[in-house]
Structure 1
């Protein structure tokens, strides 16, 4: 174990030893998985975990299995010292920062496929993504063995996949979804926002408003009509292309037929230059 502003462990054995000591003291454990390059949205998850448990573990691991060959694995921002300082200020007690070969040693051959809420949307454009997420989340939850784990609602489809995964595999960690952190203009906080130019950032801040308007339109139109309107509105706002806008059922992300007849969520992914932004809102 090393110490920056807070203790850092890099092996599963050291992680489990620290958690076991907390257990011996009768303390509950919360967990927040991240890929680092932390911002206020991540820190709000850490604070929520601290409100739900006595001790908080945060992982920082840029997971290679959820990146395709053409995506930004090599350039994804890495800043462990800064992340550790931010985590300490948010009440984290332990940073788990494994190396890639500790998570995926030579000979690693296991895959996990989650159906249901993984179908469509992100999967249509990143077919590798949820397989990589499922493996790393299953590993992390097994490694930490926390009472509760907190995920952000910004990645809403991912949150639903994690809930399906833990239910299907009888993983006892309780999964909590925390509200999306936003800047003062409503832009969802994301590590990839650092890629945006000032002009692109101004356009990006319109995404939230378009989704809100589309959700309102869906009350008096079919979901497909509201989705089509939102796609056009995003292009007119200055987005370069739109991967999807989808209105889905809240609980399982199943599509609606002709009308919204249950609680719904509107989800979107769109591009500005080389930056892909995602967001979602309740309808």
Structure 2
């Protein structure tokens, strides 16, 4: 089945008016891979109608980042959506999402200034702004986002709660390649040598998870030991951050913390920015 493709607000509104029952939205920037497809399948289990948005959002790219070279593979993306039974694809141009220079945008607040937000200032302001616009335009009952972007998912949940947006936000598990590298549209940028260095991210997370029984401080120490070697590799890993945080607030946890936590890491190999994370549980949650 070929999805209905809409590109304007008017076309979207007309298509949305024909939907009966529940609608699930999977927002993407295209270059779809198995991680995205797993979210689409999850959407199909949650709702009678599945919509996918494809839009490379300029607001969430900083100066010198890869907006211009970000992969744009619409024909292949549409084929993948058709194979997965997607009903509706919203693929607006920049002029549709931003008909004029935005004057009012979402501010991510303190939660958007740590970890990925510190490494990429303004990134989460742009991400939240486009997500809110998509939620307002598509009006889904459920919106599904990948857990690989743990901070993004936490911030979207916070925005939806704080602004009373009538949508259920659901996370989908991270999908990995056989060697452990988290699937990303940016993986295609990596050379063979760069990919070997990039594997340090998932190895560091596994080392941290293996040390969880000894407590939060042991987790970060074990992960850092792996990353230290990668920063001296050829090519080297440029570490942006390794943080152990509360999954709902992204505030740091350490010492005697009990309860859930996320160990998140990000770095650059060559010109490619990669992120990854693992969920942990310490002791008994009070």
With the length of structure 1 as denominator, give the TM-score of the two structures. Answer: 0.92
Q: CA deviation at 1:230?
A: 4.6
When residues 202 and 28 of structure 1 are mapped into structure 2, their CA distance, relative to the original with a 3 A threshold, is same
Asked whether 1:231 is paired with 2:227, we answer yes
Preserved contact between residue 227 and residue 246 of structure 1 (Cα < 8 Å): no
Partner of 1:108: 102
Preserved contact between residue 192 and residue 275 of structure 1 (Cα < 8 Å): yes
Q: State how far apart, in whole Å, the 1-side matches of 2:132 and 2:203 are.
A: 35
Preserved contact between residue 29 and residue 55 of structure 1 (Cα < 8 Å): yes
Higher mean displacement: 57-66 or 207-216: 207-216
Partner secondary structure for residue 187 of structure 1: coil
Partner of 1:184: 178
Q: State how far apart, in whole Å, the 1-side matches of 2:190 and 2:2 are.
A: 30
Unaligned runs of 5+ in 2: 281-286
1:30-80 Cα shifts (integer Å, max 9, x gaps): 000000011111111111111100001100000000011211111111111
Q: State how far apart, in whole Å, the 2-side matches of 1:187 and 1:231 are.
A: 15
- Within the candidate set 133, 137, 146, 2:131 is matched to 137
Partner secondary structure for residue 154 of structure 1: coil
Q: CA deviation at 1:14?
A: 1.1
Partner of 1:36: 30
Spell out the pairing of 1:89-168 with structure 2 (5 A cutoff): 89-168=83-162
Q: CA deviation at 1:175?
A: 0.3
Q: State how far apart, in whole Å, the 2-side matches of 1:81 and 1:100 are.
A: 18
- Within the candidate set 184, 204, 208, 1:210 is matched to 204
- Within the candidate set 266, 270, 274, 1:277 is matched to 274
Partner of 2:49: 55
Q: CA deviation at 1:28?
A: 0.8
Q: State how far apart, in whole Å, the 1-side matches of 2:220 and 2:190 are.
A: 30
1:237-272 Cα shifts (integer Å, max 9, x gaps): 654310001111123222114233221110000111
Q: CA deviation at 1:231?
A: 3.4
Q: State how far apart, in whole Å, the 2-side matches of 1:53 and 1:237 are.
A: 46
Q: CA deviation at 1:236?
A: 4.7
Partner secondary structure for residue 75 of structure 1: coil
- Within the candidate set 243, 264, 269, 1:267 is matched to 264
- Within the candidate set 6, 12, 15, 2:9 is matched to 12
RMSD: 1.8
Higher mean displacement: 251-260 or 62-71: 251-260
Preserved contact between residue 205 and residue 277 of structure 2 (Cα < 8 Å): yes
Q: How many residues align?
A: 277
Partner secondary structure for residue 214 of structure 2: coil
Preserved contact between residue 218 and residue 226 of structure 1 (Cα < 8 Å): no
Q: CA deviation at 1:7?
A: 1.6
Unaligned runs of 5+ in 1: none
Q: State how far apart, in whole Å, the 2-side matches of 1:117 and 1:92 are.
A: 33
Partner of 2:246: 249
